[in-house]
Structure 1
Amino acid sequence: MVNAWYIDDSLREPLDESVKRSDRHLNPPEYLTLDELRRKTGVTIETVNVDKYDNDSDNNNIEEELAKHASSKGYVYTDVLDIHAERLDNYSEKLRAFYTEHLHSDDEVRLVLVGSAYFDVRDIDNRWVRIHVRRGDQLNLLAGTYHRFTLDVDNYVKLFRLFGSKPDWSSFNRPADEHPARVDYMSRAVKGF
């Protein structure tokens, strides 16, 4: 089950990895329901039964089943990102880039196949919300959402990435308030998503 909460953002960058990968709860913790998360950030989360994708010994069938899932949701391009020190080229550099606050021109949709991680997003009041995703959680960040990503203390996640068109890997670091995706996002935020 997904948990989301406001984080203690009193520590200033650069943060060491152990701090980035901790819960960073406020005292006392301030959780958000999934409905509050959607209304305050535009983020939606769906639970997907991923057991059928890894209990089959035929790897091609797994990829075929994942492709069917993506197609049923209207996504046309997919890939898998295996974030582990031994399996991801330029691991440290990529984690630093993922943790830099940024936005994209397209929605960011990720399904957790294995492991767990954190997505941090800014809410409509510019506060950081930490979303802890685990196996079977499919997260959808709207285009224009300021966000960042890091592993949790387990140091591993395998993500199925879904795209509405051929992926554009461009990211725009904050501030990018004049970017068309951000302008559209803020327009939607005013209306309550």
Structure 2
Amino acid sequence: MRAYYFDNAPGDQRLPHDSGRAVSPSTLEAIGVLHWSIPIDESPAESHIRQINEVAQERQYRNRDVISVTKEGLGDAYESKIKMFYEEHMHEDEEIRYILKGSGFFDVREHPNDQWIRVHLSAGDLLVLPAGIYHRFTLDERNSVKTMRLFKDEPKWTALNRGPATDANPYRKTYLDSIRSARAVASSA
């Protein structure tokens, strides 16, 4: 994983858009974004699956599936799916992704300054986005990613695009309250 501030320059969303300003893991943690590096193990024992199972048990993820986002796999729907994933949105559940193959970018909004932080993920990266955080996803120039999605309950993916309704959403408000509380505790320590 590599994180940095998005440069906001025009151009293909699949390009790096690297501002040259790195973002530390502690900055990501401060906005509720969690990351594990669990290298893919192709041995018969598949230790990466054991490690994913441990994280899933600890965080109470009960379900999972695997999806591939490729032009070949999605056919005519490819471009529309890529555009849909890249719309700024939030979810009322955590978004958990473990990259099995390929790579891509998750952009997350830093609070309170509203800057985009770009997180480049590749095989072996596990990312957890908290419910209520504004984010978006795109492939990188390789145009291919295979991910395991983990869910606390039944698999679902409901994107709520940013707007006045999502700004007032109770999950968004809970997320913002948790960020403010964590900052207050950190500043009083």
State the TM-score, normalized to the length of structure 1: 0.83
* CA distance, structure 1, for counterparts of residue 18 and residue 56 of structure 2: 37
2:108 alignment counterpart: 121
Which of 4, 16, 34 is the aligned partner of 1:23? 16
Matched-pair contact (CA < 8 Å) for 2:97–2:147: yes
Q: Secondary structure of the equivalent of 1:20?
A: coil
Counterpart residue type for residue 93 of structure 2: D
Q: Secondary structure of the equivalent of 2:108?
A: strand
Counterpart residue type for residue 83 of structure 2: R
**CA 140–71 in structure 1, closer or farther in 2 if over 3 Å, else same:** closer
* CA distance, structure 1, for counterparts of residue 64 and residue 21 of structure 2: 34
Which of 23, 31, 39 is the aligned partner of 1:32? 23
2:57 alignment counterpart: 72
Counterpart residue type for residue 152 of structure 1: D
Matched-pair contact (CA < 8 Å) for 1:4–1:129: yes
**CA 6–67 in structure 1, closer or farther in 2 if over 3 Å, else same:** closer
Unaligned runs of 5+ in 1: none
* 1:143 positional shift: 0.3
* CA distance, structure 2, for counterparts of residue 121 and residue 71 of structure 1: 22
1:5 to 2:16 alignment:
no
Which of 148, 153, 168 is the aligned partner of 1:165? 153
Q: Secondary structure of the equivalent of 1:192?
A: helix
Q: Secondary structure of the equivalent of 2:156?
A: coil
1:134 to 2:125 alignment:
no
2:79 alignment counterpart: 92
* 1:24 positional shift: 0.8
Q: Secondary structure of the equivalent of 2:73?
A: coil
* 1:65 positional shift: 5.7
Matched-pair contact (CA < 8 Å) for 2:94–2:128: yes
* 1:49 positional shift: 2.9
* 1:33 positional shift: 1.0
Matched-pair contact (CA < 8 Å) for 2:99–2:122: yes
Q: Secondary structure of the equivalent of 2:172?
A: helix
1:82 to 2:68 alignment:
yes
* 1:67 positional shift: 7.6
- How many aligned residue pairs are there? 177
* CA distance, structure 1, for counterparts of residue 159 and residue 61 of structure 2: 20
Per-residue displacement from partner, 1:15-39 (whole Å, max 9, x unpaired)? 5xxx20111122xx11011111211
Counterpart residue type for residue 131 of structure 1: V
1:182 to 2:172 alignment:
yes
| Fraction of identical pairs, as percent | 34
Matches within 5 A, 1:147-166: 147-166=135-154
